[in-house]
């Protein structure tokens, strides 16, 4: 009996197998969640955040360029100078804000392709700001048309870059979403497969543990008990583990010891009785010739092949007895 396959080791082995299976399931789920988080971040940064930044720059640039013409119109119509100054300051502050936003975006860890776009946007937007500031400064003097033409060119170049950047961000977000969907279904299928496999493997693990740690020791114990029942006590059981099977083994070995001791003990002889005074036995009455003949014939066993000889012996015996009586 292999005591290494005891209940404690079997339980430990079962626990380790279930632990490994659980770790695999958790690991696959964790990897899937990490990939999903990465793709979600990509969708947020490229498809939402960067798209939002590009949309804001494009909108602000359109507003500023429209207000340049408005400022010239306000000067031409003789509107309040404070109002003109207020609108002019708003446009300059908005352009400064957009330039700072582009610089911040360049330092945010975007892709190399996006960096190329933002570098071009920053260069064109800086040139546009210079031209727009000159237009605003020279507007009260009804001059600055050359700067306005330069601003138109820079605006067109910046708008083109922003439009291409929006398209790039949209494609990156769509690609990230597609990858995230594929990963989601792969992880889902893997987890479902592992769960189905768990329903198959866990009963197998339990059955294996019970067979090695319980069923086989009990079967061997049953075989030993059958030998004890047949009077053969030369085998004993060995089980070093301190568990329920160990208690059964101890009981069987104790039974063997008692049965062996009982079988080896000498049988008690009948007690001798004290010799009694011998009394003369009465002499038997003389037997009749017929009784002698019968007893003699009865003493002879008549087998199938000895029937004829026995009959002859009986007849001759009767004749001899008759002659003895005549004398």
Residues 227, 241, 208, 2: what is their CA dihedral angle, to the nearest 10 degrees?
Answer: -50
**Cα 126 to Cα 98: distance, rounded to the nearest angstrom:** 10
Distance CA 278, CA 214 (A): 70
Task: State yes or no: pLDDT of 267 exceeds 80.
Answer: no
pLDDT digits (tens, 9 = 90+) for 183-241: 888 888 988 998 898 888 888 888 888 887 788 888 888 888 888 888 887 877 877 77
How many residues are listed for the chain in this entry? 327
Half-sphere exposure of 226 (CA within 13 A, CB side): 6
pLDDT given for residue 5 in this prediction: 63
Banded model confidence at residue 293, pLDDT cuts 50, 70, 90: very low
Helix (H) or strand (E) holding 89: helix 81-106
From its phi and psi, is residue 106 left (phi > 0), alpha (psi between -120 and 50) or beta? Answer: alpha
Quick one: pLDDT at residue 81? 87
Fold classification of 3-208 (topology level): 1.20.120
* 193-197-202 Cα angle (round to 5): 150
Q: Which of 105-119, 146-160, 299-313 is least confident?
A: 299-313
Q: How far apart are CA 240 and CA 221, in angstroms?
A: 15
Number of CB atoms found within 10 A of residue 203's CB: 10
At residue 252, the 3 state secondary structure works out as helix
Cβ-proximal residues to 57 (8 Å cutoff; 6+ apart), any chain: 98, 101, 102, 121, 125, 158, 162
Range ranked top by mean pLDDT from 18-22, 271-275, 307-311, 319-323: 18-22
Q: Which two tokens stand for residue 49?
A: 């955040």
Question: For residues 212 and 258, what is the distance between their CA atoms, to the nearest angstrom?
Answer: 29
What integer is the mean pLDDT of 30-38? 85
pLDDT in tens, 156-180: 999 999 999 888 888 877 887 888 8
* CB distance 50 to 114 below 8 Å: yes
Structure-block tokens of residue 17: 């197998």
Mean pLDDT throughout 35-62? 82
Whether the CB-CB separation of 129 and 154 falls below 8 Å is answered with no
Q: pTM for the full model? A: 0.54
**Confidence check: pLDDT of 321 > 70:** no
**What is the predicted pLDDT for the residue at 128?**
93
């Amino acid at each position: 009996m292999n005591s290494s396959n005891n209940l404690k080791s079997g339980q430990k082995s079962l626990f380790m197998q279930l632990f490994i299976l659980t770790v695999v399931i958790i690991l696959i789920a964790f990897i899937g969640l990490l990939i999903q988080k990465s793709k979600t971040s990509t969708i947020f940064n490229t498809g939402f955040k960067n798209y939002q930044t590009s949309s804001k720059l494009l909108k602000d640039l359109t507003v500023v360029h429209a207000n340049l013409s408005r400022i010239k119109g306000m000067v031409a119509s003789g509107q309040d100078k404070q109002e003109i100054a207020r609108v002019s300051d708003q446009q300059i502050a908005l352009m400064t804000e957009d330039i700072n936003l582009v610089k911040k975006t360049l330092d945010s860890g975007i892709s190399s392709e996006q960096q190329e776009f933002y570098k071009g946007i920053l260069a064109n937007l800086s040139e546009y700001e210079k031209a727009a500031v000159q237009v605003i400064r020279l507007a009260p003097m009804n001059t600055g048309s050359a700067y306005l033409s330069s601003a138109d060119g820079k605006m067109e170049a910046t708008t083109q870059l922003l439009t291409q950047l929006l398209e790039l961000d949209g494609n990156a977000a769509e690609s990230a979403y597609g990858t995230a969907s594929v990963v989601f279904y792969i992880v889902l299928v893997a987890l479902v497969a592992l769960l189905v496999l768990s329903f198959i493997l866990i009963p197998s693990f339990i059955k294996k543990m019970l067979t090695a740690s319980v069923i086989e020791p009990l079967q061997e114990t049953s075989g030993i008990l059958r030998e004890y029942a047949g009077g053969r006590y030369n085998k004993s059981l060995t089980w070093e583990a301190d568990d329920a099977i160990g208690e059964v083994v101890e009981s069987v070995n104790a039974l063997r010891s008692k049965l062996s001791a009982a079988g080896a003990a000498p049988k008690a002889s009948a007690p001798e009785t004290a010799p009694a005074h011998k009394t003369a036995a009465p002499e038997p009455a003389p037997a009749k010739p017929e009784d002698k003949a019968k007893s003699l014939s009865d003493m002879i066993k008549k087998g199938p092949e000895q029937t004829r000889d026995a009959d002859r012996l009986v007849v001759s015996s009767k004749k001899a007895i008759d002659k003895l009586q005549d004398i």
